[in-house]
A = this chain, B = another copy of it.
Amino acid sequence: MSPTPANARGGIDLGGTKIQTVIVSARNRVLGEARRPTPTEGGPEDVAAEMAACLREAADGAGVETEKLLGVGIGSPGDANQETGVVSGASNLPGWEGSFPLAENLEKDLGAPAFVGNDVQVAVDGEFALGAAKPFDSVLGVFWGTGVGGGLVLNGKPWLGRGAAGEVGHMLIRRGGPRCSAGHSGCIEAYAGRSMMERKARSLAASGEKTDLFRIMEQRGRDRLTSGVWERALKHDDKVAHELIKRATKALGEGIASAINLLDPEAVILGGGMGVRFGERYLPRIKKAMEPYLFDPKNPPPVLLAELGDLGGAIGAALLAKKAR
């Protein structure tokens, strides 16, 4: 085992499907990583225990004890209060409708200072500090995954508004359109969020449209349409899969154009599980969908793919541990 790295930090990306952890060096090199499924039963304590175990696994790989870490940052869904370390209303996690002192809990378990932040915002911060957004001062991050999240960096600093800014996924593209998971009608997420794409695929299948999506899902032992399932279906030229991806990328382009008209950022960064997997292939289509809705179509900001990939959320979270609480 190599000597214990000095000033290493931990990062945890807490998602509805999986927990991803990393240990990074002082210069943000990944020294260890681990991944576990997010518990689907129990409550916040159980999720926190699994997070700690998953971080310990990454620390083992990096050859460092968690007690020696400078700190551990957590990118969390729900309302993550950076000041208090409390996470509230993380409705895609089991039994987490109320408030839970996540930072405090992990601090005790891991023996290192812990910090929480919004999952999408830390991923954007990661891209800003270390990834595709490095050359820019102001960026809009769009994270296309189970839902469609977003985050802003303006003049080099995260823009949180009154605490809830960056919900690009809930920007309107068609009043009266289908509803998203949060019940809003016609927003980007209603068309492009992976869980909403699944809902639409189920209703198309139920109404008799032929699709292999659910057969592939079962073959792969999944209980939902993961991005891997979509990928496989597209490869098999599944008509429904192609249609729904087209619908999603169109909505993403239109909504991003609307956001650009308001903010005119230097760049847009596309990330998230679906964004990382399909971005390269479908970016031209997303840009094409933007055009008719841009205030100044001759001068759009560049739309770039997130560079930190699957580990981006966890690496971005580790940045939180650089600041004092």
Interface residues of A (CB under 8 A from B): 138, 150, 152, 154-155, 159-168, 170-176, 182, 184-187, 254-255, 257-259, 261-266, 292-293, 295-296, 299, 301
Contacts of A301 in B (CB 8 A): 162
In Å, the complex CA distance between A165 and B166 comes to 16
Are A161 and B255 in contact, with the CB atoms below 8 A? Answer: no
| Chain A to chain B contacts (Cβ below 8 Å), 24 pairs | A152-B263, A155-B155, A159-B263, A161-B265, A162-B265, A162-B266, A162-B299, A162-B301, A164-B264, A164-B296, A164-B299, A165-B263, A166-B262, A168-B262, A170-B258, A170-B293, A171-B262, A172-B255, A174-B176, A184-B292, A185-B293, A187-B258, A258-B258, A262-B262
Q: Which residue of B lies closest to A150 (CB)?
A: B262
Q: A159-B154, A161-B138, A295-B182 are in contact. Are A171 and B261 (CB under 8 A)?
A: yes
Q: Which residue of B lies closest to A160 (CB)?
A: B264
Per assembly, the copies of the chain total 2
Chain A contact residues: helix, strand, loop or mixed: loop
Chain B min CB distance to A251 (Å): 8
Contacts of A170 in B (CB 8 A): 258, 261, 293, 295
In Å, the complex CA distance between A104 and B165 comes to 41
Which of B184, B185, B255, B261 makes the CB contact (< 8 A) with A167? B261
Contacts of A296 in B (CB 8 A): 164
